[in-house]
Every structure is written in structure tokens, then in C-alpha cells.
Amino acid sequence: MDKNNIINSGQLEAYCLGQLSIEEAQIISELAEHDPDIKNELDQIMSTLESYPDKLTPNPQLKTKVLDFLSQHLKHEEIDLSNPPLLNKYSDVNSWSKAVQNFSYHDDASNLQVENIFLSKNKELNLIWLHQEIVEDAHENDQFKESFLILEGACECDFEGIIVRFKAGDYFEVPSNTKHTIRNISGPGLCVKGLVQRISA
């Protein structure tokens, strides 16, 4: 094994940082015992590493600057319900909750309450409150694509034997040609609230 190749390969630095396997570290250790140049190189690397400060102290104003930057760039999107964006896995549940805050639940002992938010030729968006469960037949590929965004509570979905649980903030698409049952598991006296989107195929 060529000494210069070992010195220039980065293996000695990796040895000092504890990044080598046990076998590789043993080889370097044995080489250092028999070769003063490799031993000297290891000593220099260790000395350099030890000279680095243990703890870097950031500028105290850095935290404020970072938080200010984030607050400017991560503001919740404003949702226009007269032309709402499509629901997807990146949808902001806080923005949607704010957008539908004027729709109220009427506690009339019914299992399901549905409020239509938007309806067009190829898109339907409804806000639902579910107390117990609903069972829906399979939707054909050429009918529509259905998806949900959970705003409050939690539900358990049975897609023909495949059980999946969702909670507030979760988005999911209903597989086509699959009968599905959606069950409220939010807790006693609570309902699951969510948006249901149907897009024409």
C-alpha cells in the first residue's frame, strides 16, 4: 500500500473523525505504528481538529433575522372560495380552516352535514362534518377523482379491507373502483370535519 496514496486519500482524516469501519481503522492504526510519516500526519490532523472551537457562538441578532425572513416568506395563502385552488398533499390546512370559518355546523343529530363551497362543470368542493360513518360505492375511473383534506378531528378509512387512519392536516385520494367506508374516530361528542373534492375525469 503506497504511503502517499494513503496520506492523500482522506482516510487519515476519516480515521481521526471516527468515520472508518473497525477493520479500516485497525489498518491505519497498524500503519501508524510502523511508519513515522503516517504517524506524524495523524498527529497534525488531530492537532488541527483540536484547534477548532468546541462551540461556535452565533451572532445574537441572527435568530431574529431568520425568524423575520421566515415570517415574510411563509405567510399562509389567502384562499378565494369563488375560485378555490385544487386540494393536494401540499394544501395548507390553516389557510383552508380560515377560509371556511364562516360555515357553521348545525347540530341536528344527523350523521352527515354537507355544505357546498364550489361547483363548476369539472370541479365540486364540499365541506363536511361526519359524526359516525359513511359508506360509498366505488367510483369508476371515468366518473371523477375524489380526495379529502381533514381540517379537524380524525377518521379511519376502509378501502376494501385496507384500513388507514387520517387526522387534521392529512390529505388523501380515494382509489378509483374501490368501495370505501369513512368512520369518525375523533372521540365522544366530536365529529371529523373535512373538505371533499371531486374532479371530473
Average pLDDT, the chain: 87
| 174 pLDDT above the threshold of 80 | yes
Confidence tier at 148 by pLDDT (50, 70, 90): very high
Paired with 195 in beta bridges are 127, 149
d(CA 100, CA 94): 10
pLDDT at position 157 is: 93
- Radius of gyration, CA atoms only, the chain: 30
Residues 45, 12: contact at Cβ < 8 Å?
Answer: yes
**Contact at 8 Å (CB) between 165 and 156?**
yes
Q: Which of 140, 130, 127, 123 is closest to 175 using CA atoms?
A: 140
Condensed to tens digits (0 to 9), the pLDDT of residues 25-74 reads: 888 888 888 888 889 999 998 888 888 776 667 777 888 887 777 766 66
Checking if the pLDDT of 124 tops 80, the result is yes
Distance CA 65, CA 17 (A): 33
Q: Percent of the chain, pLDDT > 70?
A: 94
- In a 10 Å sphere around its CB, with 0-12 CB exposed, 13-18 middle and 19+ buried, how is residue 127 labelled? buried
pLDDT, residue 55, reads 66
pLDDT tens-digit series, residues 21-30: 888 888 888 8
Q: pTM value?
A: 0.62
Residue 139's pLDDT band (cuts 50, 70, 90): confident
**Secondary structure class of 114 (helix, strand, coil):** strand
Write down the domain spans for the chain: 3-51, 93-200
Beta-sheet strands, E only, within 38-132? 112-119, 123-130
Q: How far apart are CA 166 and CA 108, in angstroms?
A: 25
DSSP 8-state secondary structure symbol assigned to residue 83: S
CATH architecture of 93-200: Sandwich (2.60)
